[in-house]
Amino acid sequence: MALDKDYIADVVKRVVAEYKGGADEGTVPVGVSNRHIHLSREDLETLFGKGYELTPCKDLSQPGQYACKECLTIVGPSLRPIEKVRVLGPVRKASQVEISRTDSFVLKVKPPVRESGDIKGSAPVTIIGPKGIVELKEGCIIANRHIHMSEEEGAAFGIRDGEYVTVDVFGGERKTTFYDVQVRVNKAFRLEMHVDTDDANAAGIGNGAKVTIRK
């Protein structure tokens, strides 16, 4: 049976793209986000003392965001603590704790999957610091899978802020497809897809891995 030359060329192209991790189609670097805490000014001072300022120790991929020297303990209804949870700066209007689904089993909490900052009606959690305790009535979430893009990058990909895309992972140990990945486009952002440790482990990828957007 004779095979169509265009069909063969298409198959070869797809196989080569898969082998290269989708590089021919435009790739996005991955950042793996471990559990972390964002604090309001009020809660920062409750946990560390009046007038306390965060101590930046490492700039993150997104401009203006940084990891801090400060770490805290979080506790849920199980009373099994998770210690040394990193605080990220700068301070926010409201405190927020981002964990993985695996963490939620340890704490015995039921956090919704949400966009960062969307904490209304989310799970309660207790934060323990060296100077005090904060009991959040809401604020514990599992961050949704999302991609940061600058306005120029959004235009290049043909994607608008708030749009959802499908992402293929070819370069990891386990080829994976992530659905319903939210894209956030802002002039202050830098291209990177954020996943939590559960998703990263499932796909066999780490920081710096490359994924491909499939709209």
For a pLDDT cut of 70, what percent of the chain falls above it?
87
Quick one: pLDDT at residue 174? Answer: 85
Q: Residue 117's CB: how many other CB atoms inside 10 A? A: 13
Residue 128's φ and ψ, nearest 5 degrees, are -115, 125
| Sequence spans of domains, the chain | 25-32+145-214, 34-143
Buried b (16+ CB within 10 A) or exposed e, 46-71: bbbeeebebebeeebebeeebbbebe
Residue 25's φ and ψ, nearest 5 degrees, are -105, 5
- Is pLDDT at 86 greater than 90 in this prediction? yes
- pTM of the entire predicted model: 0.84
- What mean pLDDT comes out for the span 106-125? 97
Lowest mean pLDDT among 14-18, 52-56, 94-98, 141-145: 14-18
Fold for the domain defined by 25-32+145-214: Barwin-like endoglucanases (2.40.40)
- What mean pLDDT comes out for the span 144-157? 96
β-pair type (164-169, 133-143): unpaired
CA separation for the pair 185, 151 (Å, rounded)? 6
Paired residues of 96 in beta bridges: 38
- Is pLDDT at 3 greater than 60 in this prediction? no
- What mean pLDDT comes out for the span 54-75? 96
* Comparison of pLDDT for 46 and 22, the residue scoring more: 46
Quick one: pLDDT at residue 170? Answer: 85
- Is pLDDT at 85 greater than 90 in this prediction? yes
Quick one: pLDDT at residue 16? Answer: 43
- What mean pLDDT comes out for the span 58-69? 95
pLDDT band at 113 (very low <50, low <70, confident <90, very high): very high
Quick one: pLDDT at residue 12? Answer: 44
**Residue 108, CB half-sphere, CA atoms under 13 Å: how many?**
7
CA separation for the pair 67, 55 (Å, rounded)? 8
Quick one: pLDDT at residue 182? Answer: 97
- Residue 201: which of 38, 63, 30 has the closest Cα? 30
For a pLDDT cut of 90, what percent of the chain falls above it?
85
pLDDT band at 5 (very low <50, low <70, confident <90, very high): low
Quick one: pLDDT at residue 25? Answer: 56
Quick one: pLDDT at residue 149? Answer: 97
Per-residue H/E/C for 19-42 = HCCCHHHCEEEEEEECCEEEEEHH
